[in-house]
Amino acid sequence: MGRTVPSYRQAMGSEIASWEPFRRALRGKEVEAFDRMMEACRAYASAGSASTRPFISESMFMCILLKQELELMEMREVLDDIKRQLNIKR
C-alpha cells in the first residue's frame, strides 16, 4: 500500500510551491528575502516535522521566526563587541 499522508518535507514543498505567485510579484531584494525565508523552512524541517502542527504554515512561520531571532542574536553580539571595543556604555 502507498503512503496516504505526505511527509512533512513533501507537504512543506507543496506549501512553498503554493506561494510561487506571491514570489513572482516581488521585486529585487524582496525575492532574495523570500527565498531566504523558505530556505529557513527547509533548514529546520526536522524541527518543523517534530512540532506536529495541524497546519504546515504554522511550523514554517516558526522556522522563519527562529532563523530571524538567531540572526538578531548574532547581530546583538557583534554590536556588543563593537561597543566594548569602543568603550561605549548603553
Residue 63 burial (CB < 10 Å; 0-12/13-18/19+)?
buried
Structure confidence by residue, pLDDT tens digits, 34-65: 999 999 999 999 999 898 888 999 999 999 99
Enter the C-alpha cell of residue 3: 503512503
Structure confidence by residue, pLDDT tens digits, 17-35: 999 999 999 999 999 999 9
Q: Give the up-direction half-sphere exposure of residue 45: CA atoms within 13 A in the CB hemisphere.
A: 13
Q: Do 7 and 43 touch, CB atoms closer than 8 A?
A: no
